Amino acid sequence: MTTTSNLTVSSPNIKYTDDYIFSQYEYQETLVDTVDNKLVAKPYSTSLSIRTDRRVGKVGVMLVGWGGNNGSTFTAAVIANREKLTWNTKDGEMDSNWYGSITQASTVRLGIDERGMDVYVAMSQLLPMVDPNDLVIDGWDISPMNLADAMVRAKVIDYDLQQKLRKKMQTMKPRPAIYDPDFIAANQADRALNLIRGTRHEQYLQIRADIKDFRDKNNLDKVIVLWTANTERFCEVTPGVHDTAENLQKALQQNVSEVSPSTIFAMAAVDEGQCKAHGSLIPECLKPVSIVSYNHLGNNDGKNLSAPKQFRSKEITKSNVVDDMVEANRLLYSEGEKPDHVVVIKYVPYVGDSKRAMDEYTSKILLHGTNTIAVHNTCEDSLLATPLILDLLLLAELFTRVSFRRDESEEWSPMHAVLSSLAYLLKAPLVPAGAPVVNALFKQRANIENLLRACLSLPPLHHLQLEHKVPFLMKELRSGAMFESPPKKQKLSHQNGDH
């Protein structure tokens, strides 16, 4: 039930057992203080033990909005790749693939070989991950349509492939879901025929029962619940309702109207002990002053977003992506200053799942000149989203098997429940309270790669390439001496600042 790997790390800082990979890792950062209006930087280093469970087990996924474009496309893609299906189009025979998935179709730099050339491996080869072919799929939808008919309705999958998938997918039918017209657009009412009735607490209990039923019937070790339903309006976060787990449970019991369907699904997943996932190019040193994005799409997502409250929710999430860019450079932006950021989304039924996006980035350059970049993008929306759904599932599952401690006197501690390391795959990533939100794609991708490397006691990628720049290191590489020297064992002591 795992992807196999022919990668072995030879180091005194790593230990392999049948069940675990144990890594000794030196985590380093630079601490910055302000003393007498001067910045003082000092290195920080602490030794960590990282344990990665190699036992993946049997994993199931439950999609909220299973019968939508993304849910039906994801199911079709898993089956097509599992069955190694091929199909004919006007361009010839096509085969199944996972293009667009960082776990299945991207590589990461591992290191250098004897010639000093970079060596790359598939991301999925670094640590034991779920094989997509082994995923068991289920889910909920407000529409009772079986997955084969939902696939036809979505108009995403090629016709010949649809015919090869129909037999398996027509037996798949979504479980009843929660429908609250206050949270999604009124234009979705015609689909709302497959519903969980009752109070919010009764709906929560039913979702928990569904998860348990799915887990038990399929003998699953783990279930991941992933939201791929319509965009909800923004929830009014209310003190005494949403601020603690206890208050949220109380609000659920009292049927408080501001407890959204997505919150109910999340609470049910957490209380069943399962994992829940809810799902721009800016040049360096220019000063973006205007970012305008015009989008039109014709799928059901576009229809739902044609309602003002649902559009406002999407507008907020899109607009926040520049915030950390502004905060990171006060040479360009004064306090309170930020670029104009306008987002327009229009529903155009004709274009279907083929989304159009026209983005214009205007920046100030030297001596207050301007530079404008205009981008036109046409894409099949669900075929872009589906590989991200797969990556969310696989990486979320992997990170539940990673734990940390400083030394043997401490208990193993899992990663924080809010998996902010998945930010690369999300438009509006959540972070633990008080943590900075990172929207920069390079940082987000590097976070995933370096976290996987840490689990193998490998240093973070730095791109210095000093072995090609410093003469004595160049000589050491070319003579082979670099490969002959044994790796050093890391200290287990805890070090802070100057100590």
Q: Are residues 109 and 182 in the same domain?
A: yes
Return the closest-CA partner of residue 33 out of 44, 23, 24, 45. Answer: 44
The whole-angstrom separation of Cα 185 and Cα 241 is: 24
Q: Are residues 66 and 204 in the same domain?
A: yes
Q: Are residues 317 and 244 in the same domain?
A: no
Q: Are residues 176 and 296 in the same domain?
A: no
Q: Are residues 206 and 303 in the same domain?
A: no
Residue-wise pLDDT tens digits, 220-264: 999 999 999 988 888 888 888 888 889 999 999 999 999 999 999
Residue 363 lies in a domain: yes
- Residue 25 clears pLDDT 80, i.e. is over it: yes
Residue 205 lies in a domain: yes
What does the angle CA 279 – CA 284 – CA 287 come to, to the nearest 5 degrees? 95
- Residue 364 clears pLDDT 90, i.e. is over it: no
Q: Are residues 312 and 261 in the same domain?
A: no
Q: Which amino acid is at 366?
A: L
Helices (H) and strands (E) in the chain, counts: 14, 18
Q: Are residues 207 and 161 in the same domain?
A: yes
Percent of the chain with pLDDT over 70: 93
Average pLDDT over residues 39-47: 92
User: What would the DSSP string read from start to end of 244-305?
Assistant: SHHHHHHHHHTT-TTS-HHHHHHHHHHHTT-EEEE-----TTSEEEEEEEEEEE-SHHHHHH
Residue 294 lies in a domain: yes
CA distances from 326 to 25, 244, 339, 368, 433 (A): 32, 31, 8, 18, 20
Q: Are residues 139 and 166 in the same domain?
A: yes
Residue 388 lies in a domain: no
pLDDT of amino acid 276: 56
Between the two ends of the chain, the Cα-to-Cα distance in Å is: 45
Q: What is the pTM of this model?
A: 0.83
Residue-wise pLDDT tens digits, 93-119: 999 999 989 999 999 999 999 999 999
pLDDT of amino acid 103: 93
The whole-angstrom separation of Cα 61 and Cα 74 is: 11
Least confident of 7-11, 132-136, 217-221, 429-433: 429-433
Number of domains in the chain: 2
Least confident of 61-70, 329-338, 343-352, 437-446: 329-338
CATH number of the domain enclosing 228:
3.40.50.720
Q: Write down the residue that tokens 């497959």 correspond to.
A: 194
Residue after which a domain boundary falls, among 381, 402, 436? 381
Q: Are residues 220 and 300 in the same domain?
A: no
Q: Are residues 253 and 311 in the same domain?
A: no
Residue 204 lies in a domain: yes
Residues 6+ apart with CB under 8 A from 102: 123, 387, 391, 424, 425, 445, 448
- Residue 278 clears pLDDT 60, i.e. is over it: no
On whether the CB atoms of residues 125 and 6 are closer than 8 A, the answer is yes
CA distances from 353 to 72, 203, 280, 412 (A): 13, 31, 21, 45
Residue 389 lies in a domain: no
Q: Which amino acid is at 48?
A: L
Which H/E stretch holds residue 153? Answer: helix 147-154
Confidence of residue 281 (pLDDT cuts 50, 70, 90): very low
Give residue 113's domain range. Answer: 59-271
